[in-house]
Each structure stands twice: as structure tokens, then as C-alpha cells.
Structure 1
Amino acid sequence: MTAPRPASHRALLRASVAAATALLGITVGMSSASASGAGATDVPFAAQAKQAGLNATQAKALQTRVNGYLAQTGGTQTAANEITYSPAAGGGTLTLTLPGEKKARSLNPTATLGGDCAYYWFCAFAESGYNGDSRKAEKCNTNTFIPWTTTNGSWINNQTAGTRAKFKNSGYGIIGYSAGAYAAQSYGVNWTSVYYIDPC
């Protein structure tokens, strides 16, 4: 399981603003689940989780992880294992691995296909081999928060040819660049010092 990054003071400020949005997203999801006869009112998208083969205990555990990310990063829950972000927060999605699975795959029926990382996107993965929870972003000149501190992660840069992503610290200072697209690093990425990614 991916360990979340302790929130920086800037992240805490953002979280206070995002908390109401996150709560609204969860409430809407609960209402939809209830209206469709999904059952468990404390698990948004419960029917979707059940269809994916999760039992009630697994669905609740997954939702607990989603709630943790929502509290840390804001955004809106758009599937049982997916959070979607506004353009100001870098856009894109955070997709969580399902219980018992290594690769993150969105249960959102409208999710963009394209393997581990679709064209035009920069994708960060918590674990090596493009495994673990994933954060995908494509909007230039924005700071996409990386919410984990794993030390053997990976990334894929599938943006337009030659585009390089910027890696930034907690103060938004640039501490490195990715190789120009297309490029990928399948292991050894230490996310501890990388708080943000600007895709381009």
C-alpha cells in the first residue's frame, strides 16, 4: 500500500479550501449509489466496486484510501478508485490500485484509454514498473502535487516529442527535469524530494 506524503504547509492551506469540495463529491457519490440501490451508504460508488469484484470490506478499505487522498490533495471523486482535479491543480487524475492488484486501472467508464500512460500525458507511479497508485497530468505551467514519498517509483513522459517535465520541491523550486518525450524511467525514482511536477 502506498504511504501518503505528509502535507506541507501549502498543501494544508489548499486542503482547507478543498475539504468542502471533497465532502460534496463524496456526498453526491453516496446519493447516486443509494439511488441506484447500491446498498452501503458509507461507500460512494459501491455498486461500481462490487462490479469490479470487490467485497464490502475491500470496498470500504479502498474508500478509506480515497478519503485520505481527498483530504490531502482535494479534487473530486469520480470513480471508486479515481480522483479528478481542476486545471488549477494540474488537471488529470489520481488512480488508486485495487486491492490485490499491482497496476492502477480506473473504474471510471469514461476514463481515457492508452495503456499505462496515454499520449499527451505525464504519468507518475508510486512503485517501480509503472505500478502502484498513479498521478496523471497534462496541463503546462501548473504544479501537480505528488502525494506519496516512495523511493522506488517510476514515471512515463508520453507528451509531444521532446517535451520535458519539471520536478519541483516543496517550495516550487525546480530540482530536475525528465528526459524529453517519449521517455520513461521504470524504477529508482525517489519521490521523497519531489513534491510537484509541472508537465511542460
Structure 2
Amino acid sequence: MKRLCSLFATALAAVLLTSTNADAVVPGTALQEHVDERIARLGGVQIARNAIRLDSGATLVVAEPGQLLSEQDCPGYNFCLFPRTDFQGPDMYALQACSTYSVSYSGPGSWVNNQSTGIRAKMLNASRQVIYTTPGAYSKDASGDWTPVYYVKNC
């Protein structure tokens, strides 16, 4: 009986811990399917329930199915790229480490410079020439065009 109670308590603790872990990976869910699709297409490693660390070092944040990310989802000390105007999209690149990142978006989009005060990001064309430099952080643009942008140097 003592062993049965111990097994029950262990099982109950496991269920409670799993159900309260917001970052738990849940195979077979719609969100996990979206994350898996992006990993298959872009590479990288899942680092949270809705985030992928890409080989470039960028973090790709994925929205819950049927929802969009917004400006408020851009973490502090990051330069964030959105595939749609008005800081929205089914995913968002969050660039934190100072580096030059490849951009896979094309067409209308937006960005938020939420890095340390005064830090400016540069957008580069296919030849890695600067085509735009953002104002210092905090700054943002709700309506831009990712088509000529192949790379972003976030610092």
C-alpha cells in the first residue's frame, strides 16, 4: 500500500509539473506542427515551446496558430523583424547578439529596434552594401519593404 501511494504521488507530481510548464513541448499540437515546419524549412533547434534558435544565431518566435505576434512581443535588447506591416506576423525574427543576419522575408513588413538606447541597425542589399540605417533605439517602422533587404546588421 505504501508503495502504491508513493507511485500515485509521483505520477500526480509529474502531471502537475507538466501541466504548469508553459515552455513544455507538446508533440502533435498545432503550434508544434508550425514549429516543426519552420525547423524543416529553415534549420535550427527548438529552444522553447514557440521559439527556434536558427543556425545564424537569430531566434525565430512562432505565434500560436490563428494568432499574430505584435510589437509587444519584441524582447528587450533585440532588433525584431516582422513579415507584415504594423508589427504583425505569424512569426518574428528576434536578433540579439551583435552580428549580420540573413533575412528571408520579402515584400511589405515592419521592424522594431528595441536594443539598448541609441543602437542603430543597418539593412544591407545582396552585395552587403548598406541601404538603410535605422534611427537609434528605441525606434520602429510600421511599413517597410523587405524585398531589397538581404541582411540585417543589428549593431
Tell me the TM-score normalised to structure 1 length.
0.57
Where in structure 2 are the equivalents of 1:100-139 lying within 5 Å? 100-103=66-69, 115-132=72-89, 133-139=91-97
* 1:171, distance to aligned residue in structure 2 (A): 2.4
Counterpart secondary structure, 1:129? coil
Aligned partner (choices 85, 89, 97) of residue 63 of structure 2: 97
RMSD: 2.8
Gaps of 5+ in 1: 1-44, 105-113
CA distance in 2, matches of 1:94, 1:102: 14
Counterpart secondary structure, 1:148? coil
Aligned partner (choices 108, 119, 130) of residue 163 of structure 1: 119
Structure 2 match to 1:146: 103
CA distance in 2, matches of 1:85, 1:65: 10
Structure 2 match to 1:19: none
Larger Rg computed on CA atoms: 2
CA distance in 2, matches of 1:61, 1:176: 32
Structure 2 match to 1:82: 51
Q: How many residues in Structure 1 have an aligned counterpart in Structure 2?
A: 133
CA distance in 2, matches of 1:155, 1:69: 20
More helix by share: 1
**CA distance 1:81–1:66, change in 2 (3 Å):** farther
CA distance in 1, matches of 2:127, 2:108: 23
* 1:119, distance to aligned residue in structure 2 (A): 2.1
CA distance in 1, matches of 2:110, 2:88: 8
Structure 1 match to 2:151: 196
State the AA in 1 paired with 2:125.
N
Q: Between the two proteins, what is the percent identity of the paired residues?
A: 32
Counterpart secondary structure, 1:185? strand
CA distance in 2, matches of 1:197, 1:82: 20
More strand by share: 2
* 1:64, distance to aligned residue in structure 2 (A): 2.2
Q: Which runs of 4+ in 1 moved over 4 A?
A: none
Tell me the TM-score normalised to structure 2 length.
0.72
* 1:62, distance to aligned residue in structure 2 (A): 4.9
Counterpart secondary structure, 2:42? helix
